[in-house]
Amino acid sequence: MENIKLGIVREGKKPIDKRAPLTPEHCRKLEDKYPRFQILIQPSDIRCYTDKEYLEAGLTLNEDLSSCNILMGVKEVPAADLIPGKKYFFFSHTIKKQPHNKKLLQTVIEKKIQLIDYECLTHTNGLRSIGFGRYAGIVGTYNALTGYGIKNNLYKLKPANQCRDLVELENQLGRINNLPDIKIVLTGEGRVAGGAKEALNMLGMEQVNPQEFLEKQHGNAIFCQLGVNDYNKRKDGSMKSEKDFFENPEAYITAFVPFTKVSDIFLSCHFWDPRAPRLFLPEHINNFFKIEVIADISCDIGGSVPTTLQASTIEDPFYGYNVSTGQKANPFEKDVITVMAVDNLPCSLPRESSKGFGDDLIKNVLPCLLENDPDEVIMRASITKDGQLMPSYRYLSDYAAVRA
């Protein structure tokens, strides 16, 4: 292996993000395994692992990362901080043409950066190989239950970001002993949904199938999990595989509306393709809509959940959606749906989520970067290279048109 330097960048996006792609322990193990591989840590006073912890692990701190071949962060690197000609790993939030990151992608192209987006790193079967989804699901569900308790004056939980760790968060959930016979519906079957189920299982909540959820009363709190063929249906009425939905989402309409009439809490944990139908429309909200709390854990603003008007914050996770006006309101007023739409939920448990992410990175990604990559894992996740969009991402051409 040729000499390679990897730089861990200081997170620069606001609001601040305390996570790290690799912990001190991860970095130490990597340098020990690959003698010609060095990791430089850009100092940070906000990172959940301190500079001292990296130093104690034998790592090198360096403000200047220009000598690094590869640079790695978590959230978007500010455009002004991007070093030309480098290989960057971070969540770019550009593949859905998110308006707020148009300039970022344009700058990446102008500076001839190879951008590898964590969201695009997949196994050969198309499933994502890395992510913070588990902790997003756990914290998002915890927040939803917190909001439901406040809204109905049932119980109070410590804010997720004030919990010391996952153990304390689980202990907080264990304090809920007066949960009524509510119904919780969650959409999705990936990492985020798995985390949501994990949180619900901490409560010992019973899971039922979608039909039972819609048709029966159970006398206890229950939840159901919906896959793509549960919350969508083909316009022509035919039954197709999940693969067909992912390949032809425009051929589908929503099948989620019946669930809005019987659910008390909705956990949105699915990936949304802009070509796919929205789960419900604003006009559905005034038509037997029962949901009191919506946790849009996926947090797609302007996406499949129309009550998601904007992202909320870890410190102030809730806002209200006025069912009459469709406008933002106090989250716990009457005739208001309580919305939780934090877009960096894993930051509430930054050390644990960083460790889980780094474990996946070392297992599924870094061998492809530092050894062999026969399945072209890195290239498949590269949005740009040498000042051009890669073939799979040329649909972004109009969005990423370089400024004159």
pLDDT digit string, tens, across residues 344-356 = 899 999 999 999 9
**Are 139 and 172 within 8 A, CB to CB?**
no
Of 298, 303, 236, give the one whose Cα is nearest residue 276.
303
| Full residue range of the structural domain in which residue 17 is found | 4-130+350-396
Quote the number of domains for the chain.
2
User: Do 157 and 289 belong to one domain?
Assistant: yes
pLDDT at position 287 is: 77
Q: What is the pLDDT averaged over residues 99-109? A: 95
User: What does the pLDDT look like over 313-348, one tens digit per residue?
Assistant: 999 999 999 999 999 999 999 889 999 999 889 999
| Strand pairing report for 60-61 and 37-41 | parallel
Tokens read off for 43: 């100092």
* 328 in Cβ contact with 307 (< 8 Å): no
What is residue 115's DSSP assignment?
E
Give me the pLDDT at residue 15, please: 80
Residue 156 lies in a domain: yes
Per-residue pLDDT, averaged over 269-296, amounts to 93
Clarify whether residues 254 and 342 are in a common domain. Answer: yes
Q: What is the DSSP string of 188-230?
A: --SHHHHHHHHHHHHTTPEE--HHHHHH---SS-EEEEE-HHH
The verdict on 140 and 125 lying in the same domain is no
pLDDT above 70 (res 282): yes
* Residue carrying the six token digits 């690094």: 68
Q: Are residues 126 and 160 in the same domain?
A: no
Co-location of 123 and 162 in the same domain = no
Tally of CB atoms within 10 A around 315: 10
322 residue type, one letter: N
By the 8 A CB rule, do 186 and 294 touch? no
User: Residue 8 — pLDDT band, cuts 50, 70, 90?
Assistant: very high
Q: pLDDT exceeding 90 applies to what percent of the chain?
A: 87
- Per-residue pLDDT band for 403 (boundaries 50, 70, 90) equals low
Domain CATH code at residue 267 = 3.40.50.720
Residue 49, SS3 per DSSP:
coil
Strand order in 70-72's β-sheet?
60-61, 37-41, 4-8, 70-72, 87-90, 114-117, 382-385, 388-389
Residue 401 domain-assigned (yes or no):
no
Residues listed for the chain: 404
Residue corresponding to tokens 């970095």: 27
248, 104: one domain: no
pLDDT tens digit sequence for 230-265 = 999 999 999 888 889 999 999 999 999 999 999 999
Contacts of 119-125 with C-beta under 8 Å, sequence gap 24+, read 119/91, 119/92, 119/93, 119/95, 120/95, 120/380, 120/381, 120/382, 120/383, 121/364, 121/365, 121/377, 121/380, 121/381, 122/377, 122/380, 122/381, 123/364, 124/375
Type of residue found at 145: L
pLDDT of residue 1: 60
Asked whether residue 380 is domain-assigned, the answer is: yes
Closest listed residue to residue 14, CA positions, set 63, 81, 96: 81
The reply to whether 116 and 168 lie within a common domain is: no
137, 261: one domain: yes
User: Do the domain assignments include residue 402?
Assistant: no
Output the pLDDT for position 20: 97
What pLDDT score was predicted for residue 334?
87
The pLDDT, as a whole number, for residue 404 is 38
- pLDDT band (50, 70, 90) for residue 286: confident
**Cβ partners under 8 Å of residue 283, min gap 6:** none
Distance of CA 348 to the CA centre of its chain: 13
Q: Do 194 and 213 sit in the same domain of this protein? A: yes
**Position 65 confidence tier, pLDDT thresholds 50, 70, 90:** very high
Quick one: 125 and 274 in the same domain? no
Same domain? 250 vs 301? yes
Q: Which of 36, 83, 33 is nearest to 63 (CA)?
A: 83
Q: What's this model's pTM, rounded to 2 decimal places? A: 0.84
What is the pLDDT, as a whole number, of residue 402? 59
Is there a contact between 90 and 75 (Cβ–Cβ < 8 Å)? yes
Question: What integer is the mean pLDDT of 153-176?
Answer: 94
Tens-place pLDDT, residues 15-35: 889 999 999 999 999 999 999
- Residue 404 covered by a domain: no
Distance between CA atoms of 72 and 70, rounded to whole angstroms? 7
Q: Are residues 121 and 139 in the same domain?
A: no
The pLDDT assigned to 14 comes to 84
